Structure formats: structure tokens, C-alpha cells
């Protein structure tokens, strides 16, 4: 099974390049219209992200808080997959979820799904729906807090990528890295599209598909050229 996943990861490498290309196109497309960039929100997000990054590197780390989000994501993935959580444990040194079901989605979900940014986003939009007028003036504060939540997710997740995680061992290191990078690029690209709104969703998906198509076409042409040189 690990061999199959390794080959699948190799096949998905052009998609990984395409997702990065698409993300770059989103940034470049909006950068050409600099007056339309939400500078206040962007500055608040960067400030929140930078502050939390400094807290991560220079102050005692809140390991138990990250472990709780990490294991909660495992548990949610299990339940969404139709499994049952038999045991849930969290501590500052680590945690685990005992379940009757396991898959690549369950194993890798904490490294792809940003638990605290997602939770903060859902709570904010629910609050905005309930109290739109009073909270409209506080959007900058949410964006700053959201930046801090993203830094918390990114810093802790990145620190685990260089360790011998059982999640990676069960799926294969190469497959895990490809899926994690691909998932994060797609999520960040989708959120940027939602935030910056350079065009409609149809145009965004069409742009992503075009990047994927061109990436695989380029790889096919290179393989054909190598074949011709060899034979």
C-alpha cells in the first residue's frame, strides 16, 4: 500500500507545482490593482502573525493547546469518516486518539486543516451574522487575531514535519509531505481568493484547472523528450 501511495505522490507532483503557480497568480493578479488591496486588514493580519511567531520562538510554548487542536482534528476526521472515537487524551507532552478507523485523511488532517483559524473564522462569521452592526467596526481586531491563529498553526505544524511522527510513518513520509503541501496550498489559495475576490469562483476554479493542465502537459512533453533522446 505504501508503494501505491508513493507512486500516487509522484503522480501528484505536477499538481503540487500547479497549486503553487495558481497561488502566485492570485497574488500577482491582485497586486496589479494595489489600490484595491485591503491594506488595513493585511497589516493587522501581518501584525498578529508576527506577534504570535515571536511568542512561539521567544516565550514558553503552549504545547497542550496545540496538541488539543491537533487531536481534535484527528477526532473530527474520524467522525466525518464514519468512525468512532474510543479514547481522547491530551497533555503538554503529546496526545492520541484511539479509533476503530484509520485512513490517510484521518492521519494527515491536522497538518492540512487549520483547526484554530477555522474555529476562529466560524465563530466570527456566526457573530457577524448575529450582531452585524456592532462588530463591523471590529473587523481589524478579528483579522489580527486570525493572523495570530494562523501563526500558531503554521509554527507548530512546521515543527512536527521534521520529527518522526507516527502519522507520517503510517502513510509514508514522501506521500505525507506531498499531500500536506498540496492541501495547504489549495486552502491558502482558496482563502486568498475569497478574501481578495479578484473574480468569481468559476474563474478561480478555471484558473486552477488551467494551471494543472499546463503543468501536466509540460511534464508529458519533458518525458517525451527524454524518451526520444534515450531511444
In the predicted model, is pLDDT for residue 144 greater than 70?
yes
Mean of per-residue pLDDT scores for the chain: 86
Residue 112 has what pLDDT? 92
Query: All 3 cell numbers of residue 171?
Result: 502513510
Residue at 213 is within a domain: no
| Of 74-83, 141-150, 188-197, the least confident | 188-197
> What are 97's strand-pairing partners?
88
Residue at 64 is within a domain: yes
Q: How many residues does the chain have?
A: 231
Q: pLDDT higher for 27 or 68?
A: 68
**Three-state secondary structure string covering the chain:** CHHHHHHHHHHHHHHHHHHHHHHHHHHHHHHCCHHHCCHHHHHHHHHHHHHHHHHHHHCCCCHHHHHHHHHHHHHHHHHHCCCCEEEEEEECCEEEEEECCCCHHHHHHHHHCCHHHHHHHHHHHHHHHHCHHHHHCCHHHHHHHHHHHHHHHHHHHHHHHCCCCHHHHHHCHHHHHHHHHHHHHHHHHHHHHHHHCCCCHHHHHHHHHHHHHHHHHHHHHHHHHHHHHHC
201-230 vs 173-196: helix crossing angle, rounded to 10: 140
| Of 47-51, 148-152, 186-190, the least confident | 186-190
How many distinct structural domains can be found in the chain? 1
Residue at 117 is within a domain: yes
Residue at 144 is within a domain: yes
How many percent of the chain have pLDDT more than 70?
A: 94
Q: Quick one: which of 117, 79, 119 has its CA closest to 97?
A: 79
Q: pLDDT higher for 30 or 203?
A: 203
Residue at 205 is within a domain: no
Residue at 222 is within a domain: no
Band of pLDDT at residue 230, cut at 50, 70 and 90: confident
Query: All 3 cell numbers of residue 50?
Result: 508576527
Residue 213 has what pLDDT? 93
Residue at 193 is within a domain: yes
Region class of 33: left (phi > 0), else alpha (psi between -120 and 50), else beta:
beta
Query: All 3 cell numbers of residue 165?
Result: 511522527
> What are 85's strand-pairing partners?
99
Residue at 176 is within a domain: yes
How many percent of the chain have pLDDT more than 90?
A: 36
Residue 167 has what pLDDT? 83
In the predicted model, is pLDDT for residue 63 greater than 70?
yes
Which pLDDT tens digit goes with each residue over 153-186? Answer: 999 998 888 777 888 888 888 999 999 999 999 9
- Residue 175's domain spans which residues? 2-6+40-198
In the predicted model, is pLDDT for residue 148 greater than 90?
yes
Amino acid at each position: 500500500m505504501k508503494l501505491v501511495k508513493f507512486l500516487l505522490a509522484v503522480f501528484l507532483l505536477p499538481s503540487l507545482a500547479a497549486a503553487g503557480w495558481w497561488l502566485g497568480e492570485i497574488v500577482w493578479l491582485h497586486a496589479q490593482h494595489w489600490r484595491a488591496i485591503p491594506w488595513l486588514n493585511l497589516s493587522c493580519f501581518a501584525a498578529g502573525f508576527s506577534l504570535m511567531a515571536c511568542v512561539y520562538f521567544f516565550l514558553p510554548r503552549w504545547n497542550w493547546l496545540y496538541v488539543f487542536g491537533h487531536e481534535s482534528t484527528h477526532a473530527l476526521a474520524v467522525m466525518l469518516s464514519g468512525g468512532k472515537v474510543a479514547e481522547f487524551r491530551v497533555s503538554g507532552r503529546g496526545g492520541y486518539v484511539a479509533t476503530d478507523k484509520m485512513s490517510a485523511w484521518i492521519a494527515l488532517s491536522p497538518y492540512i486543516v487549520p483547526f484554530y483559524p477555522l474555529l476562529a473564522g466560524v465563530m466570527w462569521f456566526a457573530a457577524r451574522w448575529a450582531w452585524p452592526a456592532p462588530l463591523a467596526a471590529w473587523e481589524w481586531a478579528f483579522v489580527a487575531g486570525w493572523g495570530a491563529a494562523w501563526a500558531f498553526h503554521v509554527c507548530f505544524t512546521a515543527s512536527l514535519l521534521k520529527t518522526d511522527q507516527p502519522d507520517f510513518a503510517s502513510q509514508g513520509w514522501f506521500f505525507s509531505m506531498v499531500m500536506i503541501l498540496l492541501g495547504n496550498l489549495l486552502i491558502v489559495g482558496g482563502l486568498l481568493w475569497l478574501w481578495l475576490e479578484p473574480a468569481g469562483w468559476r474563474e478561480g476554479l478555471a484558473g486552477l484547472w488551467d494551471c494543472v493542465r499546463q503543468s501536466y502537459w509540460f511534464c508529458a512533453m519533458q518525458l517525451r523528450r527524454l524518451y526520444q533522446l534515450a531511444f
